[in-house]
Amino acid sequence: MTGQASRRLAMWLLLLVLLAAFIEGCSALTVWAIKNSTSRFLVWGPDVAQLPTIWAKSAGEWDDEVGWPSPREATAPPRDRSGAKLNPDFLEPGHACASAYGDSFVWGDDVGLNDGWIEQLSRLVGCRVANYGVSGYGTDQALVRFRRLTSDEAPVAMLGIFPENIIRNVNQYRPFFGFAIDPHWLKGRFVLDGSGALTWIERPRIDLSGFIALNREPARIVPREYFLPDTRDGPVTARFPYTLSLARIAMMPRVWTRLTGRPSWAEFYAADHPSGAFRLTVAIAQAFAREARLRGRKPLIVMLPGASSFRAREKFGAFEYAPLVETLSARKIDVFDTGPALLAALGTRSPCEMYAFPAACSGHFGVAGGGMLAQVVAAELKRRGWIK
C-alpha cells in the first residue's frame, strides 16, 4: 500500500471514529434526556452513591406488606383516625353509606382536599363516602387495604380501577416505573398458583445492604418482579454503549404500543400477555367482591378511565380495558364502566375538559370532571337501589 493510500485509509478511519463518537454522544444525551422526562420509566440508572443517604432518610417509614403509607402516616392528616381521607363535610368517621378503595384516581390528586370526586359524591348523596384511596396503589394493594380495614362497615364497597393499575399488579418496586428511588416504594405482590388462586409474595425484608442490592441487582431481591430492568417490558439500563441502550429503548413493546395511539399498558389487557397481568387483575377484583360479600357488603368495581383511554377509544372504537369489564361481567361481578356514561354527559365536549390539565389532556379528574364523575356514579348507585 502506497503512502497516499495509507493516508487516505487513515483519514476514513478517523472520520468513522469521529462519526461513531458523535452518534454515541448523541445517543447518551438522548438516553439521559429520556431519563429526566415524563418517559423516565423507560430508563434504569439509579445513583448508587446516593443510596445510603436515601436509606437514612427513609428507613422504617414504610408498611411491611404494601409499602405505603407507613403505619404512622396511615391515620395522620390528610387522613382521619379511621385511615380514610379527611372529608370536611363529614369529619367524623363512621356511619358511611359507601367506601372506596383504589389509587390516586380514587384519592383525588391534582385537586383540593374537598374537591375529589369521592368528596363531591358525598355531598351529592348527602352521606359520608369513606375514601380509602392511596396514590400510586395497584389493585392488589387496594385489596390488601380493604381486607385490613375490617372497621369499615359501609354497606357499599367500591373498588376504583384506573386502567394503568394492571401493570402495577405485577410490579414490586415502583422506581422501575420512574418513581423516585426510595425503600418505601417496595411492596409485596400477588401471584396465581397452579389452581388459579391468589398467593401473596411478601415484601422483602431489607436492610441497607439489601436496599443497595435492590437497586444494583434487583433480580436477587425481587425475583417475582415482572418489570426487572433489561427484560422484555422492564426499563433499559443506561450504560455504554448508549447507542445500543437507545436502540433497545426504541424496540420496547410499550413504546410501540404507545406509538399506535394506545396507552402504553394496553397490551397487558390481552389474556395471553406474558406478564399474566390480566388474569391476575381479574382474580384480584373477584377476591375484592368475594370479601365484600362475606362481610355483608355490596361490592362494585368502578372503572376510572384516564385521558389516554378516551383518546384510544376515539381512534379504535373501544376502551383498552374493555376485556376486563367483559370478563368481570361474565363472572357475575358488579362492574360499572364510567367511560360511556361520561361520554354521554359530555355530549359534544372534549373528554380533555374533565382532567386537571385540559390543555395537555392529562392528569387526574379536575374539579369539574370530578363533579361529572360523581354524578354518574351517584346515578348508578341509585339505579341499583344501593343509596337513596
Using omega within 30 degrees of 0 as the cis cutoff, is the peptide bond preceding 253 cis? no
Residue with cell 436515601: 54
The answer to the question of residue 58 being in a domain is yes
The answer to the question of residue 249 being in a domain is no
Give the type of residue at 62: W
What does each C-alpha distance from 19 to 15, 25, 50, 130, 205 come to in angstroms? Answer: 6, 10, 35, 61, 48
The answer to the question of residue 222 being in a domain is yes
The answer to the question of residue 27 being in a domain is no
pLDDT value at 333 more than 70 = yes
pLDDT at 4: 77
The mean pLDDT value for 51-62 works out to: 93
Angle among Cα 374, 346, 122 to the nearest 5 degrees reads 10
Q: What CATH number did the domain enclosing 352 receive?
A: 3.40.50.1110
Is-contact 139 238, C-beta < 8 A?
no
* Percent of the chain scoring above 70 in pLDDT: 99
Q: Which three cell numbers stand for residue 198?
A: 391468589
Least confident of 112-121, 148-157, 246-255, 305-314: 246-255
The answer to the question of residue 2 being in a domain is no
The answer to the question of residue 41 being in a domain is no
Question: How many domains, in total, are found in the chain?
Answer: 1
Model confidence at 28, pLDDT cuts 50, 70, 90, reads: confident
Q: Which residues contact 149 (CB under 8 A, 6 or more apart)?
A: 82, 83, 132
Please give the Cα distance from 71 to 73 (Å, whole number). 6
The mean pLDDT value for 116-120 works out to: 98
The mean pLDDT value for 285-309 works out to: 98
The answer to the question of residue 288 being in a domain is yes
pLDDT at 59: 80
pLDDT value at 1 more than 70 = no
pLDDT tens column, 340-368 = 999 999 999 999 999 999 999 999 999 99
Model confidence at 103, pLDDT cuts 50, 70, 90, reads: very high
What does each C-alpha distance from 304 to 5, 13, 27 come to in angstroms? Answer: 69, 57, 38
Please give the Cα distance from 191 to 371 (Å, whole number). 36
* Percent of the chain scoring above 90 in pLDDT: 85
47: exposed, middle or buried (C-beta count within 10 Å: 0-12, 13-18, 19+)?
Answer: exposed
pLDDT tens column, 65-85 = 999 999 999 999 999 999 999
Report the mean per-residue pLDDT for the chain: 95
Model confidence at 6, pLDDT cuts 50, 70, 90, reads: confident
Q: Which residues contact 319 (CB under 8 A, 6 or more apart)?
A: 163, 303, 305, 309, 312, 313, 325, 337, 339
pLDDT value at 306 more than 80 = yes
Print the domain residue range for 174: 47-238+260-383
